[in-house]
Structure 1
Amino acid sequence: MAQRWLDEDQQQTWRAWLSVSELLPRALDAQLQRDAGISHAAYIVLAMLSEAPDRSRRMSDLARRSNQSQSRLSHTVARLEERGWVRRQRPAEDGRGNLAVLTDAGWDVVQKLAPGHVDAVREALFAPLTGEQTRVLGDAFRAVLDRLDPDRSLRFQEGDELPR
Structure 2
Amino acid sequence: MKLTIRPGDITKLDVDAVVNAANSSLLGGGGVDGAIHSAGGPEILAECRRIREGLPDGLPAGQAVVTTAGELPARWVIHTVGPVHSRAEDRSEILASCYRESLRQAVRVGAGTVAFPAISAGVYGWPLDDAARIAVETVEGMRAEVGDDVTEVLFVPFGEDAERAFRAALRSGL
TM-score (norm 1): 0.28
Richer in helix (by share): 1
Rg comparison, structure with higher value: 1
Higher relative contact order (CA 8 A, sep 6+): 2
- Determine which structure has the larger strand proportion and give its number: 2
